[in-house]
Amino acid sequence: MSLDKLEKTKKVYKQYPKLFSDKRKYCWPELVFLFQDFIKPGDKILDLGCGNGRFFPLVKAKKAMYLGIDSSPGLIAIAQQQYPQAFFHIGDALNLSLPDKQYDKVYLIALLHHFLTPGQRNQCLGEARRVLKDNGLLLLTVWHPPLARQWQLKNKKLFFRNLFLKLTGRLGWRDFIKPLDQQQTAPAYYHFFSQKELIRLVSKQGFKVIETGIAANKTHHRSNIYLVARK
């Protein structure tokens, strides 16, 4: 039986951890405010989809406690090697083996857009809400839709591959497949949310959205929707 799109994406991150990690060694400057402005000393922070642990130094600088969880054993191994003083675990954001109401802030940086079905998105947000303390904060980012247009302008092969998948019903019109590598052998799946869609989704899970916007670098070659919501 063929793997579903989420399992295919997980498989890519498991097979190519160094390829992904090498492209994301540090927190991008346009996202630093999500850590500097919202974390208080002593907070318990959960970083879901933590990858190589690149956000840990920002949490450490705020004198907060940190746990990073990712489904890729290879990325967790890289994270542990780079930051041996931090706590990292292999885990599934859809089924966290963590107690209720334990964390002051839960981060989902570039994670939610990998869930292509409403059920998966709701389950991920539901788990994040479950482990948050009352009045705790959810902070997340997803890729901004103009990125898909940029990719297609740069790569005609990628454009036609996505168009074929959409026309044959194998991919939703707001979904996109993009390989991690130049040879296009490691495809990952993404859903491009609009801000309204993201606000509606988070609100339906019982969160109160308190801030949202676009975080982009100076050239706008990186552009993310960010959202902060309170439980």
Domains of the chain: 5-146+191-230 (3.40.50.150)
pTM of the predicted structure, to 2 decimals: 0.93
The pLDDT of residue 67 is above 50? yes
More confident: 192 or 147: 192
The pLDDT of residue 48 is above 70? yes
Residues 125-170: tens digit of each pLDDT: 999 999 999 999 999 999 998 887 887 777 888 888 888 989 999 8
The pLDDT of residue 219 is above 50? yes
- pLDDT, residue 140, reads 98
Q: Which long-range contacts (CB under 8 A, 24 or more apart) does 77-82 make?
A: 77/17, 78/17, 78/18, 78/21, 78/52, 78/53, 79/50, 79/51, 79/52, 79/53, 80/53, 82/52, 82/53
